[in-house]
Amino acid sequence: MIRGDFLSLNESKKKKRASKVDKVIKKLSDTLDGGRLSTQRADLLSYSHDYWPIYLHWMLEDRYPSVPDAVVWPESIEDVRDIVRWCYRGKVPIYPYGGGSGVLGGAVPEKGGIVVDLKRMRSLKLHKKDLLVEAESGLNGYYLEDYLNERGYTMGNIPQSLYPSTVGGWVGTKALGQFSTKYGGIEDMLKGIEVVVPPGKLIELKPHPRTATGPDLRKFFVGSEGTMGIITKGWFKIWPEPEKRIKLSYASNSLKDAVESIRRIMRRGAEPAVIRIYDEIETKRHFYEYDDIYGKVATVMIIEGDETLADAESKIVREEFVGKEKGEKPVDHWLETRFSIKEASEFVPMGVVFDTIEVAVGWSGAAKLYENVVGALKPIKGVLFASAHASHFYPQGICFYFTFAGTPPRKKDAEGFYQQAWEEAMKAVINSGGTVSHHHGVGRQRRRWMSEELEEGYELLKKIKQKVDKRGIMNPGDMGL
Ligand SMILES: Cc1cc2nc3c(=O)[nH]c(=O)nc-3n(C[C@H](O)[C@H](O)[C@H](O)COP(=O)(O)OP(=O)(O)OC[C@H]3O[C@@H](n4cnc5c(N)ncnc54)[C@H](O)[C@@H]3O)c2cc1C
């Protein structure tokens, strides 16, 4: 078995650990028969990583610094409880795993142990009158939305990773989709939750339209990244499918014009479902076929819902937007290409290091943050480009989604280059008054900025973690916990 950089135990400790883990695996294989457990090398390697871009470089160098000891596929709550019970007794780490599309190493089994793939737990139930869907956590995102659409509903959560991600992963990472400005993030949709916490207890928090029974424990698990328990089910808000969809696009002379336009639109209470503003570099990259947009700042928008409301929102947009209206075609182009994720398979084998960094900031700091982050990334030796689009909006502010790509200069490895870019970008975000994560979460890549951003709040989070997970078995190391 490959054991790597993350595990720096001495030989005697390794032996002790192996015998402890073997005992737990033996117990689990007695309980989880019928192909619900594997220690096959192919499975262990497949589950040694998620979509953390730097891991792709490690794999190309034949480095697998984190390999689990076993992978399990529970099919029921009882299975999940058994897994947590046995791992708790043996003090063996557990890593909940959905689609493995997380981009920050959140599902990486850093200290070995058991990866728990939830994908066999995928039942769902529609509650039409209450406008809720009840979904087990392993349910695939695309399958859920397709099921709802066929019945005349939508959940409105359409991340770019709709096809490879799961409901549990959405809640685990506090995800949100491309239509978030109208439908919100997963935290707005989640109304009830079921979680198995150490030492194997099931917590059921039923859905209510609203409840004031103390602090909201449902939200406590949103964004917990598997560090507090295994989410087995959620109840989510749904909407009737939109009656009308209006597609608008604009070409503006500057990013500032477009961003300011959206600020005014949001202030007036209009909520277009999709709003995406691309800086000049990204406009060139995404809209090179459109001569009258190329070289400008492109904005695409989708307004949808009840016809009367959609018409009123589009009137507000047209009154406020500074730029030339460019019709539906650029929006159709965005709709057709929005799930394309070929960059990783194209660029990484060529030695190009790239990543995306999504952050948020209030309107008053928006222009400064954009300039500072791009300005911090561009001078790094080897950077080919640094650009951004803004993809999620609130009456209070904006999410910028930065992309950088480059080739490490001679004598610098991919990881050194990658970490330098992150370091400079995070510093610029913090100095500009932004939050270091808007929707990808923390994982292992962002953990070193947790205390800087949360300060005493991080100390509280660590104390809560110690109480909930006394033996530290739940996704140890994630978020620095
Ligand atoms: C090309 C691409 C596009 C993306 N686009 C978006 C986007 O538009 N919006 C967005 O928000 N994100 C996006 N992401 C990031 C990623 O898809 C999301 O973070 C997604 O929510 C992860 O879901 P998953 O099922 O793949 O989770 P995984 O990657 O398997 O796990 C993510 C984290 O959640 C934990 N977890 C998973 N399941 C459970 C569970 N049942 N209980 C407890 N913890 C659990 C894991 O331990 C891990 O810490 C994108 C990623 C890629 C690769």
| Domain CATH number, residue 228 | 3.30.465.10
Both tokens assigned to 123: 């039942």
Q: Are residues 264 and 357 in the same domain?
A: no
What confidence tens digit (pLDDT) does each residue in 140-180 have?
999 999 999 999 999 999 999 999 999 999 999 999 999 99
**CATH number reported for the structural domain that contains residue 291 in this entry:** 3.30.70.3450
In order of 186, 224, 235, 480, the CA distances from 169 in angstroms are: 10, 10, 14, 19
| Atom number, ligand 1, closest to the C-alpha of residue 168 | 41
Q: Are residues 234 and 141 in the same domain?
A: yes
- Whether 467 is in a domain gets the answer no
For residues 210-228, average pLDDT: 97
- pLDDT at position 341: 81
CA of 196 to the centre of ligand 1 (A): 19
Give the N- to C-terminal CA distance of the chain in Å, as an integer: 26
Q: Show which of 287, 309, 337 is a domain's final residue.
A: 337
- pLDDT at position 4: 47
- pLDDT at position 8: 59
CA of 101 to the centre of ligand 1 (A): 5
**From the CB of 168, is ligand 1 less than 6 Å away?**
yes
Q: Is the peptide bond before 68 cis (omega within 30 degrees of 0)?
A: no
- pLDDT at position 202: 98
| Atom number, ligand 1, closest to the C-alpha of residue 167 | 25
CA of 222 to the centre of ligand 1 (A): 12
**From the CB of 161, is ligand 1 less than 6 Å away?**
yes
**From the CB of 358, is ligand 1 less than 6 Å away?**
no
Residue 411: pLDDT over 70 = yes
User: Minimum mean pLDDT among 18-22, 118-122, 377-381: which range?
Assistant: 18-22
For residues 242-248, average pLDDT: 97
Q: How far apart are CA 112 and CA 120, in angstroms?
A: 22
Which helix or strand (DSSP H or E) is residue 187 part of? helix 186-189
- Number of structural domains in the chain: 4
* Strand pairing class (124-127; 132-136): antiparallel
- pLDDT at position 342: 81
CA of 398 to the centre of ligand 1 (A): 21
CA of 311 to the centre of ligand 1 (A): 35
Residue 333: pLDDT over 70 = yes
Q: Show which of 278, 303, 337 is a domain's final residue.
A: 337
**pTM across the whole model:** 0.96
CA of 10 to the centre of ligand 1 (A): 33
Q: Are residues 195 and 128 in the same domain?
A: yes
Q: How far apart are CA 370 and CA 254, in angstroms?
A: 13
What confidence tens digit (pLDDT) does each residue in 262-309 have?
999 999 999 999 999 999 999 999 999 898 999 999 999 999 999 999
| Atom number, ligand 1, closest to the C-alpha of residue 141 | 25
Q: Are residues 22 and 113 in the same domain?
A: yes
For residues 318-327, average pLDDT: 97
Q: Are residues 95 and 152 in the same domain?
A: no
Amino acid letter for position 155 = M
Q: Are residues 224 and 316 in the same domain?
A: no
* Strand pairing class (94-97; 114-117): parallel
Mean pLDDT of the chain: 95
Angle of the 53-60 helix axis to the 414-431 helix axis, nearest 10:
170
Per DSSP, the residues of 56-67 read HHHHHTT-----
Residue 3: pLDDT over 60 = no
Which helix or strand (DSSP H or E) is residue 235 part of? strand 230-237
SS3 414: helix
- Domain encompassing residue 352: 343-445
Residue 248: pLDDT over 50 = yes
**From the CB of 355, is ligand 1 less than 6 Å away?**
no
Helix, strand, coil share (%) of the chain residues, nearest 5: 40, 25, 40
- Whether 450 is in a domain gets the answer no
Q: Are residues 284 and 320 in the same domain?
A: yes
Q: Are residues 22 and 46 in the same domain?
A: yes
Contact 292, 327 (CB under 8 A): no
The residue nearest atom 44 of ligand 1, judged by CA position, is 226
CA of 99 to the centre of ligand 1 (A): 7
Confidence at 9, pLDDT banded by 50, 70, 90:
low
Show the beta-strand stretches assigned E in 68-179: 70-72, 94-97, 114-117, 124-127, 132-136, 153-154
CA of 183 to the centre of ligand 1 (A): 19
Angle of the 255-267 helix axis to the 307-320 helix axis, nearest 10:
140
Per DSSP, the residues of 309-372 read HHHHHHHHHHHH--SEE--SHHHHHHHHHTT--THHHHHGGGT-EEEEEEEEEEGGGHHHHHHH
Cα atoms in the Cβ-side hemisphere of radius 13 Å centred on 400: 31
- Whether 4 is in a domain gets the answer no
Strand partners, 53: none
**CATH number reported for the structural domain that contains residue 376 in this entry:** 3.30.300.330
- pLDDT at position 347: 86
Residue 378: pLDDT over 90 = yes
Q: Show which of 178, 206, 240 is a domain's final residue.
A: 240
Q: Are residues 348 and 288 in the same domain?
A: no
Q: How far apart are CA 424 and CA 198, in angstroms?
A: 38
- pLDDT at position 327: 95
**From the CB of 478, is ligand 1 less than 6 Å away?**
yes
User: Minimum mean pLDDT among 19-23, 370-374, 401-405: which range?
Assistant: 19-23
**From the CB of 175, is ligand 1 less than 6 Å away?**
yes
Q: Are residues 220 and 327 in the same domain?
A: no
Contact 302, 272 (CB under 8 A): yes
**From the CB of 160, is ligand 1 less than 6 Å away?**
yes
- Whether 466 is in a domain gets the answer no
Q: Are residues 400 and 322 in the same domain?
A: no
- Whether 458 is in a domain gets the answer no
What confidence tens digit (pLDDT) does each residue in 124-146 have?
999 999 999 999 999 999 999 99
Contact 400, 390 (CB under 8 A): yes
| Atom number, ligand 1, closest to the C-alpha of residue 344 | 1
Angle of the 255-267 helix axis to the 366-377 helix axis, nearest 10:
140
Confidence at 71, pLDDT banded by 50, 70, 90:
very high
Which helix or strand (DSSP H or E) is residue 405 part of? strand 397-406
**CATH number reported for the structural domain that contains residue 86 in this entry:** 3.30.43.10
CA of 225 to the centre of ligand 1 (A): 9
- Whether 394 is in a domain gets the answer yes
Query: How far is Cα of residue 406 from the mean position of the Cα atoms in its chain?
Result: 23
- Whether 221 is in a domain gets the answer yes
Q: How far apart are CA 357 and CA 160, in angstroms?
A: 15
What confidence tens digit (pLDDT) does each residue in 422-453 have?
999 999 999 999 999 999 999 999 999 999 99
**From the CB of 95, is ligand 1 less than 6 Å away?**
yes
Query: How far is Cα of residue 160 from the mean position of the Cα atoms in its chain?
Result: 10
Strand partners, 360: 399, 435
For CA atoms 11, 226, 470, 201, the dihedral sign is negative
C-alpha angle 236-273-397 in degrees, rounded to nearest 5? 95
Q: Are residues 329 and 420 in the same domain?
A: no
User: Which of 52, 158, 161 to mutate to test ligand 1, by most ligand atoms within 8 A of the CB atom?
Assistant: 161
CA of 142 to the centre of ligand 1 (A): 13
- pLDDT at position 410: 84
C-alpha angle 283-418-414 in degrees, rounded to nearest 5? 115
**For the stretch 200-235, what's the b/e string if a residue is b when 16 or more beta carbons lie within 10 angstroms of its beta carbon?**
bebbebebeeeeeeeeeebebbbbbbbbbbbbbbbb
- Whether 460 is in a domain gets the answer no
The fraction of the chain above a pLDDT of 90, given in percent, is 90
**From the CB of 74, is ligand 1 less than 6 Å away?**
no
Contact 94, 114 (CB under 8 A): yes
